Structure 1
Amino acid sequence: MISIHAFILIPILTAFLIPFIGKQFPKWHLGWVTLAVPILLFSFFVSKIPVISANRTITGSIPWIRALDLHFAVYLDGLSLIFTLLIAGVGSLVVLYSIFYLSKEKESLSHFYAYLLLFMGAMLGVVLSDNLMVLYLFWELTSISSFLLIAFWFHRKKSRYGAQKSFLITVGGGIAMLVGFIMLQVMTATNSVQEIIAMRDSIQDHELFVPALVLILLGAFTKSAQFPFHIWLPDAMEAPTPVSAYLHSATMVKAGLFLVARFTPVFGGEATWFWLVSGVGIFTMFWGSFTAVRQNDLKALLAYSTISQLGLMMSLFGLGSAALQGGASIDSIIYTQAIFAALFHLVNHATFKGALFMVVGIVDHGVGTRDVRKLGGLLSLMPITFTLSVIGSFSMAGLPPFNGFLSKEMFFTAVLNAHEMSMFSMDTWGLLFPVIAWIGSIFTFIYSMFIVFRTFLRPYRRERLEKDPHEASIGMLLSPIILCTFVILLFFFPNLLSKYLLAPAMNGILPTYQNMEGFIPKISAWHGFNLELLMTAGVVILGIILMNTYRFWNVIYDLFPEKRSLDRGYQWLLAASESGSKKATDHYMTGFLPNYLYYIFGFLLLTVGGTLFLSGSIVFDPSNDAPVSLYEAIFVGIMGITAVGILFAKSRMTATLLNGVLGYSIAVFFVLFKAPDLALTQLVVETVTTVLFLLCFYHLPEWSKEDRSWKVRFPKIILSIGMGALTVLIALSVQGNNLFESISSYFEDSYELAGGRNIVNTILGDFRAFDTMLEVVVLFIAGIGVYTLVKLKAPQGGDKIERK
């Protein structure tokens, strides 16, 4: 049986093979070759549905760094299975769509599919990892691979800017998350996520519990584009449409939701977790929908709609986390319904939003623009695309008979029940949740209708379009058709999804509950005339009114000018940090070598010297020292006089010769200490060095008279005396502090252990073999650099280097 680890590594390894495969196959074959990978992955994870639906898990671990408790551990349960199916299933459709979307002549398809598969493998690693550090490794790999995908059209300035922006924000959050993971490891002494979940009760009172909670949420919020970190997502829309359909509807932005769901068993029930997740989520839901309405670019509209939908799901996970308050007992299905609704909408969102991204790509591909101010009248020209846009948009708006209606109704139920929660003062503040949710849903309805009516039903104006509109090929339509089919099927058969995927996922988030049927709600389209239905009716009625009167009330957006937006704040912060760092760098990078020596030696004096004094490590015990012979005293005196003489030398020749005297004196000491091989090495090195100094100095200009004022000399004197004293103190501290047993006895067995009679040579060649190998690698790299400089000669009479 193939290990589940292989299905994480298959797309990553294939990504590295894609450039070589691309040379063997014509470009039009490369997409089909790539398509085999996500189909294989999807088939494998589908085959695990019977196992997982029986509330069992699949685990595995490959040892890595045992001393650091780092293992390639995987854990497949109901929660991770949903994400793997989305990653592989939507990934298959995206690859199929890209085959017909991307130009085979103009695009570097090998790069595109390599980046896409690398991202796919990284996402699988995130949702399947059971080791904190391995999870973080794959987490940052998603940021790197998404950066490459967003910047795929790197010749566009906006693409480079969007990639940089997403990378800075998500990686910044990832680093915060890493610190939170380290805190969890400190609290639990393990990196296993499942072991940490089992220790939940024992770490709740730890002083690092809340800081770890906040830092982990920073990672989740940045990745899932929660307010105020949402600003990277609209700029990431500069990526090719297949990338947007994959990263920003089904995978990357869902990674933060997965993180919150996975760690809900650890932090759920904590007030800080509850308020941050639910509060930030519900506000993000409102702000994303409110901002989406003002967008004129269809992809920008979908970007903000994605932000809104992510906020909706995040708020549901936050509300549902109250189920773990005060332990693991469940008093009401109110809390668990919220988590169930979040998981259901997670799947629904991937279907209708993936389809809508592809529809927008078809419109852009067939018309040449995404600007809704130029679009209109495409119903008769692109009827299939129109039908797909109706299904996707109406589902996003929460209208029947589409799956978005079901999860939207469950969302209303969850927020209406929020004020019934007795904990966290929800009986008061809980009233805000349904109000904000309802207002956000109205804006959701408006921008969903804008997609359909502004693109397809307004008057047709050919003069504003860049191309003659035409329906897309069946190859490009096939993927959104499949997704829209699921949008409809999930409306009529939602409980199949609930039984085989949602219920096991609930057990993964709330693992302490044994009786799953006791709190898994039955999904139905009709619940009678209740408040949720009235809220939906209000959304539709008020949404239609506001949509048709948009030109009268859109002045409200003038209260939020672009120049005072969070995006402008990010741009200002980035520019300020760049200019500030340049000023700081220019201040200390003067190009004057003595200044750099001041920095280096001054830093050593403060850190090392300060540590010695504060720790009390300076111990001088000469009782065990060997006696100093007359010859040793003579050569110490010679070296001292020579060292002082260098300071007063007035020519390079004199300074070089005196420096040579120091080196040769050290060689004499090696002879006195009965180390002739070291003495020989020292003599050879000193001779070669002295000759090279003299050769180089011959070509240098005359030694200019230096400034000998006390202003210049005094810092040098202090620094020199300080470094000399520090070196002596370090030597005394090493000699006077016998903290560990000497390892010299081990090296005395060099002949038996390594077959060498010379201990020094054995240490260098055998005991330090790995270190020596790295030194050889450094020399090899330096040799390549020298060879490159020699080969890249400047052309005769020119100053520029040829670049072949």
Structure 2
Amino acid sequence: MITKWAILLPFFMAILIPIFHTRIRKFHLGWVALAVPFILFIALLRFLPQIASGDTISHSWRWIPSYNLTFTTYLDGLSMLFALLITGIGALVILYSIFYLSKKEALHKFYCYLLLFMTAMLGVVFSDHLIMLYFFWELTSIASFLLIAFWHHRKASRRGAQKSMLITVTGGIIMLMGFLILAHEMDSYSIRTIISTISIENLNRSLYLAMLFVLLGAFTKSAQFPFHIWLPDAMEAPTPVSAYLHSATMVKAGIYIVARFTPIFAYNLSWFWIVSIVGLITLFWGSFNAVKQNDLKALLAFSTVSQLGLIMSLLGMGSVVYATTGEITDVIYTQATFAALFHLVNHSTFKGALFMMVGILDHEVGTRDLRRLGGLITIMPITFSIALIGGFSMAGLPLFNGFLSKEMFFEATLAIQEMNVHSWIVLFPVIAWVASVFTFVYCFILVFKTFFGSADKLPTDRKIHEAPIGMLISPIILAVSIIFIFFFPNILGKFVIGSAMQSVYPTVQPFEQMTPTIAAWHGFNTALFMTIGVIVFGIILYLAWPKWKRLYNRLPEKWTLNYLYNQLLEEAEIVGKFVTDLYMTGSVRHYLMYIYVFFILIVGGYFIQSHIFAIDLEDQAPVEWFEILLMIVMAGAAIFLLFAKSRLTAVVSNGVLGLGVAMLFVVFRAPDLALTQLVVESVTTVLFLLSFAYLPEWSKEQKPKATKSMNLLISLAAGALVMAISFTVLNYSEFKTISGFFENAYELAGGANIVNTILGDFRAFDTMLEVVVLLIAGLGVYTLIKFRARKGQKKYED
């Protein structure tokens, strides 16, 4: 039941906070929100020994039994690892936000969005059903959109939110296609069931396609090249959001998908190549671009891209065990996955601390621009200590946890060469080493350019001082965790990462040999020499940074991915406007013509091609003389309406036609429909008459003969098609009629009147959607009225 409440608790709190926030005025609203991740983190820790021993916890809710749609949550080692990060880092981020955000902000919205985000992430890592996983996957995109656009009066915030939404949602839709193909081929929507039944023998082209679709979805969410361009623009969000999004949520969702689906798709060697190569390219490109950034949050954004590429490449290299023999001799490759999961935790600690550090600088100094920073080591010594620990950990230096996982990364790239599957694989350690050099450089820029040097460049419009203790608690906890993990890494390896490894490699035995002992010293080996080389060349490049940083300006802007994205948006708007102008002409005649022509071509064409038309009037009931008379009156009224020379004549003709329809209902024993028709006809006639005074003078349209002929042809074709379909239905016996089902209306729905029951019960879902459409329209109108621009109100940026 822990998985059930882990999803429901933040969801219910997200609903309650906006409702009751006005009653909470004595203290910061964040204290209420803080209770949720704190309680969940403690609750999850209670189950940690059970999960570490290899047990799993599952819970199922039968949602739509008729469609076999069951919401099943599943807690194993992998989901436990991510859940602890989501709740643990979430608690620290909320604690930090209490002191970062002013009470003047719309805190009820902020914490509603944040808890909704937490709900979505926990739903992703706990879901066993593919469709439910996709539901929460897209919910993360929506929640992140709301959080990134929290300061929606800023143009950059709105554009960043739009960019992240477009890229991640597009990837999510593609991933859904992969899920559907996978479920169809494996005849199950359960991830556990698919993992237990998949093998190299039942791989086919459809599953290869599903693999590509799933990877595209994961790559867009985890900001892999070339989809990483949304992540730097997401920096317009408040710093607590950036810290949460980068360290424990959003971007880690793609990592989770790759890890979770490794036992399904990794039997195909293409999984290894795609994941590894994309990860290494992302690692290099992110570290290369981070060096040139002047905004500290932008630097950290590209560093996140780089670190995510590192983790992704390790997952790819570790997956090769499935593509080979899957025996214990290949366990050396699984240690790459161990390094990926270990670095996942390390990255969460140092990246969360660094983002909070940058938020402190922005809050106290008033700028994040490196060109206006310097000399802060004596003014903000605690903040400097946090930056030093976090930055050196990200650089992979000793005494910090990042050093341990970075050494394991180097060892994995060296070990993977033993595969000898292709000569290009020798580039893996080369790319890893070059990217690590750039990582070292931007970490040193982050620490030394900010806190050393002259303080003359600092803003003078405020008194700069150390942050309040409340804002320092969360990053200090993370900084202490960085050092603690370095000295006691095997506690994490044994109780958290080891069980997560068992989830990624459920078929590899014996399991104990896949969990290596983490040690800071392995002797003088190649990995250590690579680290020494990173430090030496990194220091040289850092010292020479002012001389070679101008190389970044040599890349034309038209060659950048951001330029391509902006051009695609502009072209999409141009094409969309062109296509829309073709059919949105403002003419009711055109709109009706489109509808009827589509109906004639599609429906009529299918009926003719299938030879379905079968008209037989021999066995039909005779038509009475009064029915013929009624039809003549209705037809005459309709024709007379077309040639009316005044509005009053047209209204009267329309009324005769409507009353004729009501009489027809009476003849066919449908008095309720007849009464409804009479009411509608009376109301519309009164409305027509009331609006007479406001209508322009009547003028008959002068239309070309070709237009009139086209109107006549379309009208006759549509009428003839409807008549032919009606007669065909009377004699069509290919399928069993559905009327027999509705005859049991009293037993099925408790209604004696079949027509009313169909409208009120059998069509209840359709009716509900109609009401929802009206509700959404009403809310839209209310919102436009409620939030209309007022004098003195904060304006949107253009």
- Which 5+ residue runs of structure 2 have no aligned equivalent? 788-798
1:541 paired residue number: 536
What SS is found at the alignment partner of 2:399? coil
Alpha-carbon distance in structure 2 between the residues aligned to 1:286 and 1:791? 49
2:334 paired residue number: 336
What SS is found at the alignment partner of 1:183? helix
Q: Give the 5 Å matches for 1:639-658.
A: 639-658=634-653
Alpha-carbon distance in structure 2 between the residues aligned to 1:783 and 1:365? 40
2:136 paired residue number: 138
The residue type equivalent to 2:712 in the other structure is I
1:766 deviation in Å? 6.2
Q: Give the 5 Å matches for 1:139-154.
A: 139-154=137-152
Matching residue within 262, 265, 271 for 1:264: 262
Alpha-carbon distance in structure 1 between the residues aligned to 2:782 and 2:335? 67
Q: Give the 5 Å matches for 1:1-40.
A: 2-26=1-25, 28-40=27-39
What SS is found at the alignment partner of 1:555? helix
- Deviation sequence 1:318-370 (CA, Å, 0-9, x none): 11111111564343223201111100100010011111111111122221111
1:176 matches 2:174: yes
Contact 2:295 2:370 in 1 (8 A): yes
Contact 1:59 1:76 in 2 (8 A): yes
1:796 paired residue number: none
**Structure 1's 791 and 228: CA in aligned 2 closer, same or farther, altered over 3 A?**
closer
Alpha-carbon distance in structure 2 between the residues aligned to 1:499 and 1:635? 86
1:309 deviation in Å? 0.1
Contact 1:323 1:330 in 2 (8 A): no
Alpha-carbon distance in structure 2 between the residues aligned to 1:770 and 1:672? 31
Contact 1:664 1:686 in 2 (8 A): yes
1:713 matches 2:697: no
**Structure 1's 365 and 141: CA in aligned 2 closer, same or farther, altered over 3 A?**
same
- The answer to which of 321-330 and 369-378 deviates more is 321-330
Alpha-carbon distance in structure 2 between the residues aligned to 1:85 and 1:765? 47
1:401 matches 2:396: no
Q: Give the 5 Å matches for 1:207-226.
A: 207-226=205-224
**Structure 1's 263 and 788: CA in aligned 2 closer, same or farther, altered over 3 A?**
closer
**Structure 1's 455 and 753: CA in aligned 2 closer, same or farther, altered over 3 A?**
closer
Alpha-carbon distance in structure 2 between the residues aligned to 1:690 and 1:47? 70
Matching residue within 112, 117, 120 for 2:118: 120
**Structure 1's 141 and 286: CA in aligned 2 closer, same or farther, altered over 3 A?**
same
What SS is found at the alignment partner of 2:128? coil
1:628 matches 2:626: no
1:137 deviation in Å? 1.2
- Which 5+ residue runs of structure 1 have no aligned equivalent? 793-804
**Structure 1's 746 and 75: CA in aligned 2 closer, same or farther, altered over 3 A?**
closer
What SS is found at the alignment partner of 2:28? helix
2:47 paired residue number: 48
The residue type equivalent to 2:174 in the other structure is A
Q: Give the 5 Å matches for 1:186-197.
A: 186-197=184-195
What SS is found at the alignment partner of 1:59? strand
Matching residue within 568, 572, 576 for 1:577: 572
Contact 2:634 2:657 in 1 (8 A): yes
**Structure 1's 202 and 690: CA in aligned 2 closer, same or farther, altered over 3 A?**
farther
What SS is found at the alignment partner of 2:59? strand
Alpha-carbon distance in structure 2 between the residues aligned to 1:308 and 1:747? 61
Alpha-carbon distance in structure 2 between the residues aligned to 1:791 and 1:88? 36
- Deviation sequence 1:458-515 (CA, Å, 0-9, x none): 2221554553331112221111111111111111111111111111111101111242
2:372 paired residue number: 374
**Structure 1's 571 and 473: CA in aligned 2 closer, same or farther, altered over 3 A?**
same
Alpha-carbon distance in structure 2 between the residues aligned to 1:430 and 1:262? 25
Matching residue within 145, 161, 168 for 1:163: 161
Matching residue within 584, 592, 603 for 1:589: 584
Alpha-carbon distance in structure 2 between the residues aligned to 1:786 and 1:451? 48
Contact 2:280 2:309 in 1 (8 A): yes
Q: Give the 5 Å matches for 1:681-692.
A: 682=677, 685-686=680-681, 689-690=684-685, 692=687
1:730 deviation in Å? 2.1
The residue type equivalent to 2:463 in the other structure is D
2:480 paired residue number: 485
Matching residue within 465, 470, 488 for 1:470: 465
1:200 matches 2:198: yes
The residue type equivalent to 2:221 in the other structure is K
Alpha-carbon distance in structure 2 between the residues aligned to 1:129 and 1:237? 29
Q: Give the 5 Å matches for 1:342-421.
A: 342-421=340-419
The residue type equivalent to 1:85 in the other structure is L
1:94 deviation in Å? 1.0
1:439 paired residue number: 434
1:85 paired residue number: 84
2:109 paired residue number: 111
Contact 2:374 2:457 in 1 (8 A): no
Alpha-carbon distance in structure 2 between the residues aligned to 1:555 and 1:699? 69
Alpha-carbon distance in structure 2 between the residues aligned to 1:99 and 1:705? 68
1:527 matches 2:522: yes
Alpha-carbon distance in structure 1 between the residues aligned to 2:160 and 2:235? 8
The residue type equivalent to 1:165 in the other structure is K
Matching residue within 600, 607, 628 for 1:612: 607
Alpha-carbon distance in structure 2 between the residues aligned to 1:284 and 1:716? 59
What SS is found at the alignment partner of 1:153? coil
- Deviation sequence 1:725-753 (CA, Å, 0-9, x none): 22112213322323444454565566777
What SS is found at the alignment partner of 2:502? helix
1:73 matches 2:58: no
Alpha-carbon distance in structure 2 between the residues aligned to 1:757 and 1:255? 52
**Structure 1's 309 and 635: CA in aligned 2 closer, same or farther, altered over 3 A?**
same
2:724 paired residue number: 729
1:801 paired residue number: none
1:784 deviation in Å? 10
- Deviation sequence 1:576-630 (CA, Å, 0-9, x none): 2223323332332222221111222222222222332333332223343223344
The aligned length equals 787
1:62 paired residue number: 61
**Structure 1's 624 and 322: CA in aligned 2 closer, same or farther, altered over 3 A?**
farther
Instruction: Tell me the TM-score normalised to structure 1 length.
Output: 0.92
**Structure 1's 300 and 634: CA in aligned 2 closer, same or farther, altered over 3 A?**
same
1:156 deviation in Å? 1.8
2:552 paired residue number: 557
**Structure 1's 757 and 514: CA in aligned 2 closer, same or farther, altered over 3 A?**
closer
**Structure 1's 198 and 733: CA in aligned 2 closer, same or farther, altered over 3 A?**
farther
Alpha-carbon distance in structure 2 between the residues aligned to 1:791 and 1:240? 25
Alpha-carbon distance in structure 2 between the residues aligned to 1:320 and 1:155? 45
- Deviation sequence 1:23-76 (CA, Å, 0-9, x none): 233363322222211110110111111001101111111111123332221111
- Deviation sequence 1:178-235 (CA, Å, 0-9, x none): 1111112211222111111122128843332122111111111111110111011111
Alpha-carbon distance in structure 2 between the residues aligned to 1:345 and 1:302? 16
Contact 2:501 2:514 in 1 (8 A): no
The residue type equivalent to 2:506 in the other structure is P
Contact 1:226 1:310 in 2 (8 A): yes
Alpha-carbon distance in structure 2 between the residues aligned to 1:37 and 1:787? 32
Contact 1:223 1:253 in 2 (8 A): yes
**Structure 1's 108 and 655: CA in aligned 2 closer, same or farther, altered over 3 A?**
closer
**Structure 1's 76 and 741: CA in aligned 2 closer, same or farther, altered over 3 A?**
same
Contact 1:367 1:465 in 2 (8 A): no
Contact 1:16 1:114 in 2 (8 A): yes
Alpha-carbon distance in structure 1 between the residues aligned to 2:288 and 2:143? 31
Cα RMSD (Å): 2.9
The residue type equivalent to 1:292 in the other structure is A
What SS is found at the alignment partner of 1:626? coil
- The answer to which of 630-639 and 205-214 deviates more is 630-639
Contact 1:27 1:109 in 2 (8 A): no
- The answer to which of 710-719 and 437-446 deviates more is 710-719
What SS is found at the alignment partner of 2:199? helix
**Structure 1's 605 and 65: CA in aligned 2 closer, same or farther, altered over 3 A?**
same
Alpha-carbon distance in structure 2 between the residues aligned to 1:549 and 1:150? 36
